[in-house]
Structure 1
């Protein structure tokens, strides 16, 4: 299991991550835009927003981020403001699906589910929530390819 930092922005992710890359060095592992989504129906304003970017910082840490899209935000989510844009991302290996479910269920008790833990188009079991203390979490478990 790896715990990483996941940052959200509103149209500034590319600039932020290019800045972080200039500071930490390295190369992006993933750099995907919303326009690359299958059957993407996004606004013209958001077509160049980043869906996901990953920048390895060292052998233990990956800084990840994305631009917030109103289309994909849960209706009960607080609107984006700088300062509420940080998640702790738990990343598990394919054989750890049970542990992903256990962590999601245990940490989200008395919290607010943003996205239920479910299979995704990127081949992972994924969910997001805010715990009872206001800390934002993501659980992502890569699934075995069939």
Structure 2
């Protein structure tokens, strides 16, 4: 499991991450709705939105998307969160449960087409997002 920064944009993710790549160099991977397994779940108007982007270089590891929680508006302070990714499903569930104490769980941990995902705002007002890859078996 590794902690990194996750930036939340409102339709400007591609431009912002391209700019950060110009500043820091490195490799930028970017997945839009239209290019993902989640494509049929979204209306045409959202097909160009970025589901997930990641910039890695010797200096930075930044992940981002065009999604804020549906009840949120982009304002300074709610566009960055702490992002725990890459851990085992069991460890992700354990840490999520521990951080959930006195937190507002906005997205319960659920299996999505891209893996196990969940999010919460902890008791101190910090937004946390969680992602673990799920290994699917034939019986799953």
- Unpaired runs of 5+ residues, structure 1, are none
CA distance in 2, matches of 1:89, 1:38: 23
Structure 2: runs of 5+ lacking an equivalent: none
1:114 is displaced (CA, Å) by: 1.3
Equivalent in the alignment of 1:129? 120
Matched, 1:110 2:109: no
On the 8 A contact 2:33/2:39 being kept in 1, the answer is: no
1:125 to partner: Cα distance: 1.4
Instruction: After TM superposition, give the deviation of residue 145 of structure 1 in Å.
Output: 4.4
Q: Which residue of 1 aligns with 2:93?
A: 101
User: Which secondary structure does the structure 1 equivalent of 2:77 belong to?
Assistant: coil
Distance 1:58 1:136 in 2: 26
User: What is the alpha-carbon root mean square deviation over aligned residues?
Assistant: 1.9
What does 1:44-83 correspond to in 2, within 5 Å? 44=45, 46-58=46-58, 62-68=61-67, 73-74=69-70, 77-83=71-77
Does residue 92 (structure 1) correspond to residue 89 (structure 2)? The answer is no
Aligned length: 135
Runs of 4+ in 1 over 3 A off after TM superposition: none
Counterpart residue number, 1:17: 17
TM-score, length basis structure 2: 0.85
